[in-house]
Every structure is written in C-alpha cells, then in structure tokens.
Amino acid sequence: MEILVVGTGAREHALARTLSLDPAVTRVHAAPGNPGIAQRATLHAVDPLDGAAVADLARSLGVGLVVVGPEAPLVAGVADAVRAAGIPVFGPSAQAARLEGSKAFAKEVMAAAGVPTAAARVATTLDEVAAALDEFGAPHVVKEDGLAAGKGVVVTDDRDAALAHAGACLAKEGGRVVVEEYLDGPEVSLFVLCDGTDVVPLVPAQDFKRALDGDQGANTGGMGAYSPLPWAPEGLVDEVVETVARPTVAEMARRGTPFIGVLYCGLALTSRGVRVVEFNARFGDPETQVVLARLASPLAGVLLAAAQGRLAQVEPLHWRADAAVTVVVASHGYPGQVRTGDPITGLDAAGTVPGVHVLHAGTAVRTTEDDPENPLNDPLLVSDGGRVLSVVGVGETLAAARRAAYVAVDQVNLAGSHHRTDIALAVSEGTEVQA
C-alpha cells in the first residue's frame, strides 16, 4: 500500500518514518513534507490546506490511505474532501475536528457526554470574563476559543493579565473566550485512535509546554516529551478510555458527526481525579515522536482500520519496553518572533548517536546562487520555522534515552537556537512528577 501523509512537522516526519518501516507499505508520499521527510517519502508541492488539491493528489497517486497530521487542514475540511473522493482517510471531518477547533464546542460535548473536565464559562464580553474570573478565583485560566497553535491559553495569578489576554482575544472578529477553573496536578497526553465507534489507545506521554527550563517562560507548541510515565497510576489508560474517549466518541456519533482519527486527550491528574484539560483532533507534537518510537506493531494497518471503521478487528498493539525522550531544538525567538534561514549542521553526527533519530520540523533546503559562503552552491539545510528539529533518543531507561537525546542535541549547530535542558530530568532521576 502507498500512503500520503499531509503536513510539514516533526510529527509528520515521525509518522512517515514509522509508516516507511511497515513492511505493508510500499511507498510513503508527503504533501508538502520537509527535507527530513524527503529521506523517507516522495514529496509533493501541494497546499495542505487545499482539500481538493490533496484529494486530487491522492487519487492521481492511487494511495490506499491518507493520514492528515496537523489541525489546520482538518478544521479546513481536508479529510472531508479526501473521503468524498472515496479514498480512506485517517483524520476527522471538519465538523468532528471542532473538538479541537472550538474550545467552547469541546466543553459542550464533554458536558453532554459526562466527561470530567474543568468547570468553564464561555464569554463574549469583558464583563462576562470578569464575572467568570471572580467566580473561579486565581490562578486564572483564559483560553481563546479558536485554534491558536498552543499559544491561546494564559494561566496567571494576575487578574489584570487575564483580563488583558481576554480583551485581545475578544477584539478579534467573532472573538470568544473560555474562562476555566484551574486544574492542578501533572499533565498526561493520551492519544486514542477512533473509527467513529471503536477506540484503541496508544501509550501515555508527557509534553513540556513551556519555553524555558523549570516550566518557565511562555507556552509553546511543546519543547520535548517522554514516554513511558512510570509515575502514572495503574489503570489510567483504561480509565481514560472508559470515562473520556468512549463517551466522547459516542456523543459525536449521536450528533451525526462521527470522530475518525486521533482523539488527543490532554489530561490533568488532579487531587479530585482525572480531568480533561483539552481535546485535540490529531496526534500531538512532540508526543507522537516518543509514542511512535515505542510502537512495535506496524502502524499502517491500524490507521487504515480506523479510517474504514474496522478497529474492533485489529490485533492488540505491541509496545517496546524501551523508553523514548525527545528534545525540540527551536529557532531564535521562538515562541515569539522567530528568525529563519540560519544554517543547520551536525545532523549526521547527531543521527549516529546510538538510539537516536533526528526528525525535521521547520527546515528547508536553500540553494542560493552567488552565496560567497557557499561557492559550490551545495544545498544548505536552514531553519524555516519555530520548532526546527525533534531529536529522539531511545534507550532501556528514561535516563538512557534522555542521555542519548542530549548527546545528539549537542552535535547540532544552529545559530541562536534554544532547547530545554530538563526534558524528562526529574522523572529519570525518580525525584518528582513533572507537572
């Protein structure tokens, strides 16, 4: 089977890599992909947000499955266009992707399905925001309703800062915000494959969302991740499947908008029990990089089964006992104004560290003529986005996986780049749970 992966990030690189290692897959294609994905897949310069173009490409390639990575194409209806063309697609419809695209919608579905989550109020005026802030008290949690690449959420003790963020969100056209009760406790990401009716969970991972060591700095898309979570309570996955994933999938089916794809359950393990912090309608980035690094079963068949409503028939997934840690190398300025175009070197050395593979996110190949620094006009790998690389280390323990990842990160040269130095540190020392 040939498969088309839609997207450009390290998550899509991880998907393309894992699919290309599946003996049932004869060829992987990517639209548009990136220079790292090009080592595993044939790239096609197609706009990932253009459903008709993606469906045409899938048809002309004769692929047996399309896997849509990022949220923006899903919310734009790319999966609908591919499905309408009669091609199996792993990814929810635009209607179902609203579980991620609108936090207010997600709250409504969770309420209808009885899924445990933070109490919340949807607000369209600053007065409503102020009332909700006072109702819940500090710390304040204010979320932009729409897609914001992980940057629409402010958690703060400062009421004025919470109001200011809400004001900025409300100033946008159709602006709405969700004000929530604060959830304490460590966070877990659990991806659940869904076929509209049945569900198959993957293994939990933990993401590090803040830009700086010690969970300081701004929220980002994610600066690193690890799996497994030795501190997670036994039975967590089963509990989330029964209390979160199944009721949500049933509610979406009841509404006539079945959910097919990955239900990303972002959870807080609070003193009062498991609560959903957020849903996403896709694989998480960078958690996918560590989850797939641990998957021992072939991936293509299970994604196809989900796309075709056959998850009940798939064999249970097998997982390696190994641990995986990924560290994101980000551009100068990320998550603010990022600088791009800086040369990246050292990837060959990084990739030869035992247990390591390097996944590309925001990279590009530059072939500039008449560059005095590059007289032979060799193709030059340069940064081309906020998160540039995801360096994955696999080892027998989290400590070994982490060591491998950081040895490799030290081989990478990218001017002005930054990365966190404490990904999976506390857990690998067994000292504390990462919140």
Q: Which is nearer to ligand GLY, 261 or 284 (CB)?
A: 284
Q: State which of residues 91, 266, 286, 385 lies at the interface with ligand AMP (CB under 6 A).
A: 266
Q: Which residues are within 8 A (CB) of 181 and not within 5 positions of it... i.e. 6 or more apart?
A: 118, 119, 120, 136, 141
Q: Which does 284 bind (CB under 5 to 8 A by kind): ligand GLY, ligand AMP, none?
A: ligand GLY
- Burial pattern 283-297, b for ≥16 Cβ within 10 A else e, equals bbbbbbbbbbbbbee
User: Of 144 and 207, which has the nearer Cβ to ligand GLY?
Assistant: 207
Residues 218 to 257 in contact with ligand AMP, rule: CB under 6 A: 219
Residue of 183, 323, 382, 409 interacting with ligand AMP (CB under 6 A)? 183
CA 149, 153, 157: angle at the middle one, nearest 5?
A: 155
Q: Which residue has the tokens 């946008």?
A: 172
Q: How far apart are CA 315 and CA 370, in angstroms?
A: 56
Residue 89's contacts (CB-CB under 8 Å, 6 or more residues apart) are 65, 66, 67, 68, 79, 82, 83, 260, 307
**Which positions from 202 to 221 touch ligand GLY by CB under 6 A, shown as an x/- string?**
-----x-------------x
**Does 209 help bind ligand AMP (rule: CB under 6 A)?**
yes
Phi, psi of 235 (to 5 degrees): 85, 0
Near ligand GLY by CB under 6 A: residue from 287, 291, 350, 409: 287
| CA 350/CA 389 separation, integer angstroms | 11
Determine the 3-state secondary structure of 425 from DSSP.
Answer: helix
Nearest to 222 by CA among 335, 142, 356, 118: 335
Q: Choose the contact partner of 285 out of ligand AMP, ligand GLY, none; CB within 5 to 8 A by kind.
A: ligand GLY
Residue 222 binds which one of ligand GLY, ligand AMP, none, with CB within 5 to 8 A depending on kind? ligand GLY
State the Cα–Cα distance between residues 83 and 409, nearest whole angstrom. Answer: 40
* Closest distance to ligand AMP from the beta carbon of 295 (Å): 24
Q: Which neighbouring-strand residues pair with 274?
A: 269
Binding residues with ligand AMP: total (CB under 6 A): 15
The span of 126-134, 226-234, 243-251, 283-291 binding ligand GLY (CB under 6 A) equals 283-291
Kindly state whether residue 144 participates in binding ligand GLY, applying the rule CB under 6 A. Answer: no
Q: Which two tokens stand for residue 309?
A: 């409503």
Q: How far is the CB of 72 from ligand GLY (least distance, A)?
A: 12
Give me the helices (H) in 114-244, please: 126-136, 159-170, 236-240
DSSP reduced 3-state for 3: strand
The distance in angstroms from the start CA to the end CA of the chain is 41
CA-based R_g, the chain, Å: 21
**Nearest distance from C-beta of residue 280 to ligand AMP, angstroms:** 8
Site string for ligand GLY, 221-250 (x = CB under 6 A): xx----------------------------
- Report the DSSP pairing between strands 120-123 and 153-156: unpaired
Amino acid at 311: L
Q: What does the H/E/C string look like for 73-104?
A: HHHCCHHHHHHHCCCCEECCCCCCCHHHHCHH
* 80 is an interface residue for ligand GLY by CB under 6 A: no
Which H/E stretch holds residue 20? Answer: helix 10-20
Q: Binding residue for ligand AMP (CB under 6 A) from 105, 136, 182, 231?
A: 182
Residue 215 makes contact with ligand AMP by CB under 6 A = no
Asked if residue 13 binds ligand AMP (CB under 6 A), the reply is no
187 binds, among ligand GLY, ligand AMP, none (CB under 5 to 8 A by kind): ligand AMP
- Give the shortest CB-150-to-ligand GLY separation in angstroms: 5
- Least distance to ligand GLY, CB of residue 257, Å: 21
Give yes or no for residue 187 binding ligand AMP (CB under 6 A). yes
Contact code string over 126-165 relative to ligand AMP, x by CB under 6 A: ---------------x-x------x--x-x----------
Q: Which is nearer to ligand GLY, 221 or 247 (CB)?
A: 221
Report the partner that residue 206 touches, choosing among ligand AMP, ligand GLY, none (CB closer than 5 to 8 A by kind). Answer: none
Residues that bind ligand GLY (CB under 6 A): 150, 207, 221-222, 280, 284-285, 287
Residues that bind ligand AMP (CB under 6 A): 118, 141, 143, 150, 153, 155, 180, 182-183, 187, 209, 219, 266, 277-278
